[in-house]
Structure 1
Amino acid sequence: MTGAGRRAEPWQDRDVLIVCGTTLAGFALIVTAWFGAGGTASVARQTAWLNLAVAGFAVSSIGLCLWLLRARRAVGDRRIALISLAPREEQEDPYEEKPLRRASSQHLVRAAGMVRLHRRDCPLLTGKDVTLAAAEDGELCGVCAP
């Protein structure tokens, strides 16, 4: 977000104006409904003022939700920009089928219940009993594969 043409803040000026405008409009409707309902003794008339207050709350809530969603989108874009090493156009498709890698080392192990082969120093084997496995017994682990 700090690149050329990008702002460091998650919100733009327009977003701040929208949240302030909707909050003030909702607050004005609630206050109007409060004073209107306070001057009437009839429950039927107070119900109409209550509807106005609920509408004011809805207007204010919608503005605040839009504001938070904009921030969430900006944070997500920032996270993607920080995590990715390649430009977005050059990134590989995570759902693309990749050929299976076969093991070639003689020092591979497998723990009970595991399908893939691991090197002895693989973090997925921490605290597990392992047995030696042949290179033809399966495919390599994605964490420790050389």
Structure 2
Amino acid sequence: MWWAGITALAGGAVLCVLGWYGVAGERFAERQLPYLASSTGPGAALVVAGSVWLAALWLAAAPPAGPRQPEEARPEPTAPVRPSSQGPPVRVPGGTLVHRPDCPLVAGKPDVVPAAGADLDPCPVCEPDGGEDPAGGPSGAAGGGAGSAH
């Protein structure tokens, strides 16, 4: 395979040199044209084709960029870890979902408030348990009724 690319590259270079030599020996452009058409043009095409061929073979033979691991050394995919907080459900002011306190969508947000009394849908990421009713949380909690429409 390498030899085909090298042969095309070398043959194209020889044709370019012959065409150049033929053109250089002619004074008028009309007499130079046959050398350009029969030698230099096809020679340049062979040089390009041989270069592309060699580059493609070189890229195909290159090792992959990342480290390879045998099949038995690869870790098995695991199911996503579902947050499991026992705290009261929370919400973000103006939000439409009720979350567990450790839900990745609300974790670390400073404006999280308890979701008591708010009529909100459960978060599809953390899926708060059905045992904790998001709409009927502990009575007297801060933010009760703030998420409902008046």
Q: TM-score, normalised by structure 2?
A: 0.49
Match of 1:60 in 2: 47
Q: Which amino acid aligns with 2:71?
A: A
Match of 1:110 among 102, 105, 114: 105
- State whether residues 103 and 125 of structure 2, in contact with CA within 8 Å, keep that contact through their aligned partners in structure 1: no
Match of 2:60 among 59, 62, 73: 73
1:25, distance to aligned residue in structure 2 (A): 0.6
- State whether residues 30 and 56 of structure 1, in contact with CA within 8 Å, keep that contact through their aligned partners in structure 2: yes
Asked which structure has the greater CA Rg, the reply is 2
Distance in 2 separating the partners of 1:83 and 1:103: 31
| Higher relative contact order structure (alpha carbons within 8 Å, sequence separation ≥ 6) | 1
- State whether residues 9 and 50 of structure 2, in contact with CA within 8 Å, keep that contact through their aligned partners in structure 1: yes
Cα distance change, pair 139–74 in 1 and its aligned pair in 2 (3 A): farther
Cα distance change, pair 132–73 in 1 and its aligned pair in 2 (3 A): farther
Considering fraction of residues, name the structure with more helix.
Answer: 1
Q: TM-score, normalised by structure 1?
A: 0.51
Partner of 1:105, secondary structure, is: coil
Distance in 2 separating the partners of 1:130 and 1:45: 84
Number of aligned residues = 97
Match of 2:135 in 1: none
Distance in 2 separating the partners of 1:55 and 1:130: 71
Cα distance change, pair 26–109 in 1 and its aligned pair in 2 (3 A): same
Across the aligned residues of Structure 1 and Structure 2, the Cα RMSD in angstroms comes to 3.5
Q: CA offsets, 1:51-72, max 9 Å, x none? A: 2212101101101101111122
Distance in 1 separating the partners of 2:58 and 2:111: 50
- Give ranges in structure 2 of 5+ residues lacking alignment: 73-78, 86-101, 116-121, 127-150
1:37, distance to aligned residue in structure 2 (A): 0.7
Q: CA offsets, 1:76-133, max 9 Å, x none? A: xx3288445438xxxxxxxxxxxx957332222316xxxxxxx76xxxxxxxx57669
Alignment pair present for 1:31 and 2:26: no
Cα distance change, pair 130–73 in 1 and its aligned pair in 2 (3 A): farther
Q: Percent identity?
A: 16
Runs of at least 4 residues off by over 6 Å: none
